Amino acid sequence: MPRGPVDAARVPRFAGPATFARLPRLDEVGDTDIAIVGVPFDAGVSYRPGARFGPAAVREGSRLLRPYNPALDVSPFAGSQVADAGDIACNPFDIGEAIETIEHTADSLQARLVTIGGDHTIALPLLRAVAKRHGPVALVHFDAHLDTWDTYFGAEYTHGTPFRRAVEEGILDTEALSHVGTRGPLYGKRDLAEDRRLGFGVITSSDVMRRGVVEVVDALRQRIGARPLYLSIDIDVLDPAHAPGTGTPEAGGLTSRELLEILRGLAGCNLVGADVVEVAPAYDHAEITSIAAAHVAYDLISLLALQDVT
C-alpha cells in the first residue's frame, strides 16, 4: 500500500516535513511510481534571476494540498506511490555541465517525474531523458514566450532556447508540438516564422480567452493523439496578477483557473513527464506564485496517477 502524506489531523500543516505536499522522501519508500524532483538552477536566465529558489518555494506552497482531487476524481497518493526525490544538485557556473547532470540524474530515477524548476533551460535535459525511454514525444508548452530562439549573446543553451535544441536533436515529435498562452512583443515576424518551421502550433493567451477552454483542449487533444506526451509549464504563462513571482513577466496572461482547467482537460492522454519552471519567489507576494505552481504540480501528479487506475 502506498505511503501518503503526513496526516494533517495529527500534524498541523505549518509543521512537519518540508517535502512537496508533505509526502515521504524517496529514500523512505524505495521504489516509487511518481517522483517530485527539484532543479534549483537559474544560470540560463536572460532577465531577473532567482528561480534557483523555486523548488523550495513551491514545496512550501504545497503544504495546504489535500489527498483527494475532486476536479479529476482521483486520490493521487492512494493508488500510486508518490515521493519527493529532493533536488538535483548541478553546477551553477557551468550550464553545459549542469545540463549533463540533470539529464543523467533524471535518467537514473526509475519513476515518472514531475520536476520543479529552476529556469526553463532544464526542460532540454529532462526531454532527453524522457526520449531515451519513449522516443520523440509530443509537447504542450505553456508559456508567455516561444522559447525557440537560436541563441542569446551567442549562447545556445539558455531558458529561451530549449525547444529549438530539442527539435534539432530529434527528441520531439514535430507533428505534435504546441505552445499555449504566448503573448507580448517579439523581436520580429521572423520569430513566428521560424517557430512554425520547427513544427509548433500556437494558441495565444488571447485565443484562450476568445475560444474558451473546451475548444482549446479539443484542439490540443487532436494534435497530441495517442503519442507519449510531455507537458512543460513556465509559470509566466499566468498573468502577473496570478503569478508575479517570475523572471520575465508579461501582461495579458492566463488565469490560474484557465491553466488548471486546460491541464485537467488532457486527462487520458499518454502523459510521460512534466515540469513547472520559472518560479522566482523573491518577486512573489503572499506566496501567490508558489501556491499556483504547487496546484499545477498537484494536478500533473493527479493526471499521472489517473493512468495507474484506468
**φ, ψ for residue 130 (rounded to 5)?**
-65, -40
**φ, ψ for residue 82 (rounded to 5)?**
-115, 135
* Dihedral sign from CA coordinates of 146, 99, 60, 27: positive
Chain-centroid distance of CA 108 in Å reads 19
d(CA 141, CA 128): 16
Report which DSSP code applies to 157. S
> pLDDT tens, position by position, for the chain (310 residues)?
899 999 999 999 999 999 999 999 999 998 899 999 999 999 999 999 999 999 999 999 999 999 999 999 999 999 999 999 999 999 999 999 999 999 999 999 989 999 999 999 999 999 999 999 999 999 999 999 999 999 999 999 999 999 999 999 999 999 999 999 999 999 999 999 999 999 999 999 999 999 999 999 999 999 999 999 999 999 999 999 999 999 999 999 999 999 999 999 999 999 999 999 999 999 999 999 999 999 999 999 999 999 988 6
d(CA 288, CA 39): 20
Q: Is 274 helix (H, G, I), strand (E, B) or coil?
A: strand
pLDDT at site 30: 83
Report which DSSP code applies to 284. -
Q: Is 271 helix (H, G, I), strand (E, B) or coil?
A: strand
Sequence length of the chain is 310
In CATH, 20-309 is 3.40.800.10: yes
Q: Which pTM does this prediction carry?
A: 0.97
Task: Give the containing element (helix H, strand E) for 54.
Answer: helix 54-61
d(CA 61, CA 81): 21
d(CA 267, CA 235): 20
Question: Quick one: CA torsion of 212, 66, 110, 125, rounded to 10 degrees?
Answer: 50
Task: Give the containing element (helix H, strand E) for 137.
Answer: strand 137-142
Residues 254-274 as b/e (b if ≥16 CB within 10 A, e otherwise) read bbbebbbbbbbbbbebebbbb
d(CA 31, CA 48): 38
pLDDT at site 81: 98
pLDDT at site 310: 64
CB 284 within 8 A of CB 235: no
